[in-house]
Structure 1
Amino acid sequence: MSEIFNFCAGPAMLPADVMKQAQAEFIDWQGTGRSVMELSHRCKEYIALANEAEQDLRDLLSVPDNYKVLFIQGGGRGQFSSVPMNLKGLGESAEFLLTGSWSKGAQQEANKFLQAKVVGNTVEKDGLLSAPEITPNDLDTKSAYFHYCSNETVDGIEINQVPDSGEIPLVVDMSSNILSKPIDVSKFGVIYAGAQKNIGPSGLAVVIVREDLLDYAMPETPTFLHYKTIDKFDSMYNTPPTYSWYLAGLVFKWLKEQGGLTAIAKKNNEKAALLYQCIDECDLYTNNVHPDYRSKMNVTFHLKDKELDTQFLTEAEQNGLVALKGHRIVGGMRASIYNAMPIEGVVALTKFMRDFARRNG
């Protein structure tokens, strides 16, 4: 079979080396005669695996000692509810920057638990989208937290500068660009991320929470969603998604082998630059995001002639370039180029795009 490059926004492709190792270990993990998914999460072998995965993640992100790392079920969307439930004790309201579908979803869900105020929306100028700059003066000091999404997969908007929320805990949904570049964890109160972009399979979420924020949960918070309880039981209060955790651990080791997040960021910058250059140079394609806010993970673009959309997708798939259809909300095309996407995939895509533009421009 010819090589397939999967540009799906999520669940997304995993590194080929990780998949090969998982395949080799699927039936017999480290001589146990069992698959990882057949091991008890309480056995010493699995606990060692889980601890090693957490330490590798801490190493990659340089997580300070006063932060807890939690592995939780429910994906990123599950945290739309968990965050307000766990932080409501800090205040009766929270504030949200809306830059796309996922930040809007988080705000709407949080509004069930507290007053979820909108302090900023996506800005459009000269047909290009960008995010407003938020300062502490824009925020209510009585708010429980300030929330934003660092990368919007649907809209292709990425916020590269961490907002200054002053003394208000900063909460970020980093589902689609976590581990794509170095970050300063100490700037955040809570970082959460669904796994199915840059971490591993769907169903798992990683939460990094400053330990002084563990005592502010609503009394009604379900026990298995309570950050302090999850931390107390080392993310094993209930049976965790063991196989997803194992695969995440393999991805963390793979990232270390690539040279860590500084090295992976360099590769991601190169991939994104190649693709945006192609879009900008070919008259057939347009991107409606200001260059300062263009996502390096989810590159969205439209064909100027929408009648060509179906032909573009059909021919792309025939060339081994799959899952390029844009989200149903915005249409067009979307190429998700997470860490696992090799530069060869982006080169193949841009070569096809230039040829398609030449033939149909």
Structure 2
Amino acid sequence: MTDSTAPMIGILGGYGRVGAAAARTLAAEGGHRLRIGGRDATAAWALARRLGGDTEAAVADAANSQSVTHFSRGCAAVLDCTGTAFALRGRVRREVLAAGGHYVAMADDGGPRTPSGPFVAVLFTGLSATFAGWLPRRLATGLAAAQRFTGWYGGPGTAPLHAAVTCLLGLRRAGHGPRAVDCPPLPAPWGPSWPLPARPGTVRRGLPEELREQSCLLRLDAGAWYEVFHGTAVPAVLDAFAARSEGDDEESLTATARQLVRAGRGTPRGSRGLTVCGTLDGLTPEGSAVRRGMLLGCSEPTALLGTLAAVAVREVTAGRVPPGVHSLAATLPTEGTDWISRHLPRATVRMTEVLTGAPEMMPSAPTAAPQPG
């Protein structure tokens, strides 16, 4: 049985694909009570019964302020997996914070980025942008100085509509559209492991807001981020959107997001997994120049999203995130990667470190995640 004094985490949209994955992760970790919410009471209670313990369910409609307030009462934090955050323009966040809980959203809610009293708000800014901000933080852990970071993202071709909207908002925040380039060769030993075509359709280089922030905080000399796509359909939609100077209203963003989802459906079979790779040059506390690398491969991006959501809300309720509005990239822990391998089926994480100029890499043993219980 879960301790009745353990913090309550409410999950709006808790029986959807991302919400259910987050709920399963939190239930497996323990230390929390869970409240599954959504408009479908039957689905909410069905998941609550499967999770067991002190998990409860409640009817909640994200579009109804009174319903959100009622659902949020007693929650240390509310995880919003409904996908309606942007359309509601920060309203769910305001209701959750007013009810006395922290707020974590798996979308950009379009609300202000200014602090709201003693509470925490965490916004998801897309998988690519999240890893662009988290990878340099992870690789710089324990170094005396970080100098240069380069990252590659090969993502799934399709995405839920709300994730596509979040991607477009992130592109707008970046201030300029990523440009198509030739893909630089991946450093050993990643090259043979990179599960993408020998000639990917499009490679785009950009500088997401999350990487710009970390470049400043880590005082990097240089940072680069490459997105690798199968084919040209998805990049064509992104480039057309970046070239527009207007059209960020809800209707226009939703229409473009639908185009993005349709374009992604043309992704070749077998290429729907996600692969992220990053390298960081820096100095150890002893003054040695090193290059660190990390490779993450995941065949189930939805499970990855759920794990990221669960870890973020766990960090928030544990008091490890200061008050204010943060991106998910700045919230994820940097110590270790076991939180990935414990919950992601068939995920692979590999870390390397080499003295600069040394003849060979010294990879750690790759870790393949067990099937979740």
* TM norm structure 1: 0.28
Greater strand percent: which structure? Answer: 2
Greater helix percent: which structure? Answer: 1
Between the two structures, name the one with larger relative contact order (CA 8 Å, sep ≥ 6): 1
